[in-house]
Structure 1
Amino acid sequence: MKQVMKRSDVPAASRWRLEDLFPDQKAWDKDYETVKSRLGEMGAFEGKLSDADSIRQCFELEDELSLMTERLYVYASNRHHENTAEPVYQALLDKVKKLAVEVNGSMSYITPEILALPADRLEAFVADPALASYKKTLEDIIRQKQHVLSKPEEALLAQVGNVAQAPGTIFGVLNNADLKFPLVRGDDGEEVELTHGRYIQFLESRNRDVRKGAFEAMYGTYGKLRNTLAATLGANLTKNMFYAKARKYPSALEASLYGDKIPVDVYDNLVAAIHESLPLLHRYMELRKKLLNVDELHMYDLFAPLVDEYKMDITYEEAKQTVLESVKPLGDGYAAIMEQGLEGGWIDVYENEGKRSGAYCSGAFGTHPFVLLNHKDNLSSMFTLTHEMGHAIHSYLSDSNQEYRSAQYTIFLAEVASTLNEALLMNYLLERSTDPKQKMYLLCYYADKFRTTVFRQTMFAEFEQLIYARAEKGESLTHQELCSIYYDLNVRYHGAAMTVDKEIEMEWARIPHFYRSFYVFKYATGFSAAESFAKQILTEGEPAVERYLGFLKSGGSDYSIEILKRAGVDMSTPEPIRQAMSVFEQLIGQMEQLSGAN
């Protein structure tokens, strides 16, 4: 087995260039001391935020200190991730985390103090040319006003904060530490302990007995704690309903969407449009049943491979070239930035001893983004490369076209650019594939992305909507009710071709996202928006490209829905989801044709 190289052995061309942030440790130390020494300046504005000039100066200082802290953090974090066993950078990261807490603490008075001003004065500040750069910040503060309580009430709510974390904390400890899964039989016939990490590997096994054994062991274990897990999830619902009521929101869902100014219609439209498209998922389940050649399709067959393992060996150099070719529909300017990123010290490419696993894109305003990879010579790693570079170019264009405060885009928008790059890469590969086996492999890979990211996440979102609706009417949510709602959703979503196993009724108990309430729908909307963009770009050409580049340049300068709408994707209607579903329908059609199943 090839040994993992040491960090010192990684060639310079395969490393990110963090020197572009700070040339050396001395420069980092200097900025750290500057932030430390200037924290006192922040306090000088407290009690004085009553006129446009003092507010502008306060915001300018806030931006300056925040950006310096962000740069310090990104450098320390990225250095630490190069080799997590290196104590020097672990200490540096701890140091800057403590600094960030101090910085945030020094600024905590700003919003409450501005909110305490009379409404007419706040409106005048929004219209004041001297505060033009901070118009959206002030609008956000004004929007919060009706949901901010008196000082004593706010102090009381702040004290409740630690108690409020309890349901999520208890679930985390239970799920990650206390739950012990039994031994199950693997592909080699040996018994091995089931874990969260191994579960998906077992479900991807070609051996049906292995899949079934892992599935039954997983949900059998959760089933033994059904009362505790129902009480824990119930406590999380109670917490969110308490906060929504205390802050005068009509519902927990509206409280959750308010910050990003996302209408409830967006959530409802997603669920309604997916219901409308369920016949497509049913058709895909039918196809999966035929391709697996089984009499009954079970829940534990959902991740089973549909084609003989088709190995695609793709070196990093080949992956770079393919990704560059695949984004050509976005024009020369986009391709040039992509090339600059691929060759210009943005990317840390290969695994090395102690390096953080996975992949991400990070960065600080004013310097290029940084992408961490652990590249393997396969299809998945090529998709990871284009995905992370989608994030990187979104950040690069936002930073290049926006001021610091308006450059940061929301979570609601975050996955659009990365997923669009994946859609273009898949389109490029499918158009050029001449080997039927390779084509089927690609189609399966892509169809499962739709199943897991759009249908499955929407089913989760609908489950949340249903249980909150019941709880807000004062109805009880015992484990029987939770299991019944969840089981019925699985029956509805997967259709007649699927034998919905009784055990799946406990799946709600193992989804950590239910403790980040009303979050999962963003995966489905982001994926749908990206597919809608891809379809427009590939059919319309330049006008659609210009709209899309406008989206990338907008950062967080407006509310997410408005930014997307200007670019031609209106998430307040079901249309983008329908466009994404038409792509899914084409995939299924091609799979049926190739397999002779139509």
Structure 2
Amino acid sequence: MEKQNTIRKRADVPVEYTWATEDIFPTEEAWEQAFSQVTEELSSYEAYRGRLGESADALYGCLKLDEEIGEKLDQIYGYAHLKSDVDTGNSRYQQMVGRAAALYARASAASSFIASEILTIPEERLASIRGDRRLLPWKEEEKDSFERQLDLILRDRAHTRSPEVEELLADASEMAGGPSQIFKMFNNADTKFPVIKNEEGEPMELTHGRYVSFLESRDRQVRKAAFTAMYETFGRHKNTLAAAFQANAKQALFYAKARRFPSARAYYLSDANVPESVYDTLIETVREFMPLMYRYVALRKRMLQVDELHMYDLYTPIVPESSRKVPFEEAKELVLRALSPMGEEYLAAFREGLENRWIDFMENEGKRSGAYCSGPYGVHPYVLMSYQGTLDHVFTLAHEMGHAMHSWFSNENQTFTNSQYKIFVAEVASTCNENLLNHYLLEHAVDKRERAYILNHFLDGFKGTVFRQTMFAEFEKTAHEKCQAGEILTADVLCGIYKKLNEDYFGDGIVIDEEIALEWARIPHFYTPYYVYQYATGFSAAVALSERILTEGEAAVQDYMGFLKGGCSKDPIDLLAEAGVDMRTPEPVRAAMEAFRRALTELEELLSREESDS
């Protein structure tokens, strides 16, 4: 790949460096044809309305129609957003995304009768209909079963209301999204931050995007200025934001009551059938290992050589980034070598992705920032990133291709209906890849400095994903319980909860600045209640799985492959248990904590020797 000093236009990126969207639709005209076809097919739902209890033919026919339309919509929307994300300024692609989203909404409305109508079928009649082989668990040659889908619909019977109530709840959903929309508009459109000075003393406006880079600055005054400016801004609006937070907690409680759940947490965890005890076990186990975080804080204070460590000192690197540059072709080989313990079935699919344009890796003007994986059913996954040749970006490649492998094996081994794995396990495969890469890089580090960087990369990721997200989860639990008890969630109440948690999680080796009490006000994920805990459980599961793969070999790999191939054919917690990690127990989190302890101990020793040598 040739060097490029300026950012290319999208049209100037060599085709071999782009992802192969033509594997979904060969041309935009073919996309338009598919769009028109699905638009016409939506009327076919009406032929089944009111008839699902008549016969196996009617029930199977409706479910099969719904699955076929869902698969086509997956490809229609996937193609549009892939095209748009690499050329965000292209208005045609923006329109395609909007049209695809609208078509999704129309399809959802047209099919909304299916679950409620199935629940009106008398139990004996439904049992008789389900005896048809097409509705039973499918064999290798018969991938048409809807057994799992029907089981899930019936499992939700106690939480499904009358058609009239269901219609009312659906109509209320847009209104219930008001608090989240208000926060988004405030946070992304209306909030203006002050100007601060960067490391060169030049004035720069603080933005959400620049905030983290300012906190990573080696200049402490830059870090402090950004931290202070961020929370002064949110502090001026803390009462408005507290009202939005409480309104969102109240809508969560409203839906929990309407669906006959005892609490908002029970309601939100029910989607993946995760026991509430998993949530509590995570918090209890992380708290058990809090002294490890206090050691990490002490190491950070020592390496930064400050009299007092402050909250704005938690992100600046204590080990400088490795100067090692890794060209993309070398990165691909490096990740493949790191993943060699996964065996040939996994590696063959991974090579397929590397060699056949699953990845759009070159930066270009108008390309969406960040990295992600999208896996339209019936084609193959797609990975977006803007590779910059750093070790951090090598980790990003391994991470996103972990998502790709999860989608690939789920899609290849499950029907569309049973392929889409739950958020509870969404970060497991990606983080497992990162941990295997971390292990390989430690074994092949070129010097002590690179080894220290790799250890610190793991520790920082663990701190942010396990400790921090568990703290978020505990904050949500406390705040929502207060709301359910009828307490008013004022800004002072929320700040009090949040500051106390920071004191607990970071210890007395750091100054818990008053400003940090306002951090709850700027966390978008809190408007999707009980979401953040899944980052911590997923990371912990991935660490435990990678350790098992490295120590137990083939047997562990086969169990893990079963998890990847499972899609949503079983509850996610059961799929993980079959892979050897039971999140209903504290053991996976404890195993992850022991990995954190080992990495922290080695980094402490490495940095101590380095200090002695200097």
Task: Please report the TM-score for the alignment, with normalisation by the length of structure 2.
Answer: 0.94
Of residues 231, 239, 256, the one that matches 2:251 is: 239
Residue in 2 that maps onto 1:230: 242
Offset of 1:120 from its aligned partner?
4.0
Residues 353-395 of structure 1: per-residue CA shift (max 9 Å, x gap): 2222222211321212111221111112111111111111111
* Larger CA deviation: 252-261 vs 183-192: 183-192
Residue in 1 that maps onto 2:33: 30
Of residues 65, 70, 84, the one that matches 1:66 is: 70
Change (3 A) 1:347 1:309: closer
* Larger CA deviation: 270-279 vs 240-249: 240-249
Quick one: which amino acid aligns to residue 43 of structure 1? E
Of residues 3, 9, 15, the one that matches 2:18 is: 15
Residue in 2 that maps onto 1:563: 575
Residues 170-196 of structure 1: per-residue CA shift (max 9 Å, x gap): 111222222222222211112322211
Does residue 250 (structure 1) correspond to residue 262 (structure 2)? The answer is yes
Offset of 1:348 from its aligned partner?
1.4
Q: Counterparts of 1:184-195 in structure 2 under 5 Å?
A: 184-195=196-207
Q: Counterparts of 1:366-377 in structure 2 under 5 Å?
A: 366-377=378-389
Which segments of 5 or more consecutive residues in structure 1 lack a partner in the other structure? none
Moved over 3 A (4+): 119-130
Residues 440-497 of structure 1: per-residue CA shift (max 9 Å, x gap): 1111111000000000000000000011122222223222221111111000100121
Of residues 97, 111, 117, the one that matches 1:93 is: 97
**Is contact 2:322-2:391 (8 Å) kept?**
no
Residue in 1 that maps onto 2:5: 2
Residue in 1 that maps onto 2:56: 52
Aligned-partner Cα distance in 2 for 1:140–1:171: 33
Residues 384-427 of structure 1: per-residue CA shift (max 9 Å, x gap): 11111111111111111112211111111111101101111111
Aligned-partner Cα distance in 2 for 1:25–1:180: 39
Aligned-partner Cα distance in 1 for 2:425–2:456: 26
**Is contact 2:375-2:408 (8 Å) kept?**
no
**Is contact 2:342-2:557 (8 Å) kept?**
yes
Counting aligned pairs with the same residue, the percent is: 46
**Is contact 1:126-1:139 (8 Å) kept?**
no
**Is contact 2:372-2:400 (8 Å) kept?**
yes
Quick one: which amino acid aligns to residue 119 of structure 2? L
Change (3 A) 1:92 1:475: closer
**Is contact 2:56-2:130 (8 Å) kept?**
no
Residues 249-294 of structure 1: per-residue CA shift (max 9 Å, x gap): 0111000011111000110111011001111111111111111111
**Is contact 2:410-2:420 (8 Å) kept?**
yes
Q: Which secondary structure state, in structure 1, belongs to the residue aligned with residue 200 of structure 2?
A: coil
**Is contact 1:455-1:524 (8 Å) kept?**
yes
The alignment's C-alpha RMSD in Å is 1.7
Kindly tell me the number of residue pairs found equivalent between the two proteins. Answer: 598
Quick one: which amino acid aligns to residue 576 of structure 2? L
Quick one: which amino acid aligns to residue 566 of structure 2? S
Q: Which secondary structure state, in structure 2, belongs to the residue aligned with residue 216 of structure 1?
A: helix
Change (3 A) 1:255 1:588: same
Residues 293-319 of structure 1: per-residue CA shift (max 9 Å, x gap): 111111010001102443221110111
Quick one: which amino acid aligns to residue 147 of structure 1? H
Quick one: which amino acid aligns to residue 98 of structure 2? D
* Larger CA deviation: 548-557 vs 184-193: 184-193
Quick one: which amino acid aligns to residue 77 of structure 2? Y
* Larger CA deviation: 355-364 vs 431-440: 355-364
Change (3 A) 1:557 1:361: same
**Is contact 1:21-1:75 (8 Å) kept?**
yes
Q: Which secondary structure state, in structure 1, belongs to the residue aligned with residue 159 of structure 2?
A: coil
Does residue 290 (structure 1) correspond to residue 302 (structure 2)? The answer is yes
Change (3 A) 1:226 1:91: closer
Change (3 A) 1:126 1:263: farther
Q: Which secondary structure state, in structure 2, belongs to the residue aligned with residue 497 of structure 1?
A: coil
* Larger CA deviation: 480-489 vs 72-81: 72-81
Change (3 A) 1:334 1:223: same
Residue in 2 that maps onto 1:80: 84
**Is contact 2:331-2:394 (8 Å) kept?**
yes
**Is contact 2:301-2:308 (8 Å) kept?**
yes
Aligned-partner Cα distance in 2 for 1:490–1:113: 49
Of residues 494, 500, 517, the one that matches 2:529 is: 517
Aligned-partner Cα distance in 2 for 1:181–1:92: 34
Residue in 2 that maps onto 1:490: 502
**Is contact 1:122-1:142 (8 Å) kept?**
no
Offset of 1:429 from its aligned partner?
0.5
Q: Counterparts of 1:174-573 in structure 2 under 5 Å?
A: 174-573=186-585
Offset of 1:570 from its aligned partner?
0.3
Offset of 1:98 from its aligned partner?
2.8
* Larger CA deviation: 121-130 vs 509-518: 121-130
Residue in 1 that maps onto 2:139: none
Aligned-partner Cα distance in 1 for 2:28–2:320: 51
Residue in 2 that maps onto 1:152: 164
Residue in 1 that maps onto 2:587: 575
**Is contact 2:424-2:572 (8 Å) kept?**
yes
Does residue 172 (structure 1) correspond to residue 176 (structure 2)? The answer is no
Quick one: which amino acid aligns to residue 24 of structure 1? T
Q: Which secondary structure state, in structure 2, belongs to the residue aligned with residue 361 of structure 1?
A: strand
Aligned-partner Cα distance in 2 for 1:127–1:286: 64
**Is contact 2:308-2:511 (8 Å) kept?**
yes
Offset of 1:5 from its aligned partner?
1.6
Change (3 A) 1:102 1:235: closer
Offset of 1:66 from its aligned partner?
1.4
Aligned-partner Cα distance in 2 for 1:391–1:270: 24
Quick one: which amino acid aligns to residue 257 of structure 1? L
Residue in 2 that maps onto 1:40: 43
Residue in 1 that maps onto 2:601: 589
Residue in 1 that maps onto 2:141: none
Does residue 105 (structure 1) correspond to residue 109 (structure 2)? The answer is yes
Q: Which secondary structure state, in structure 2, belongs to the residue aligned with residue 184 of structure 1?
A: strand
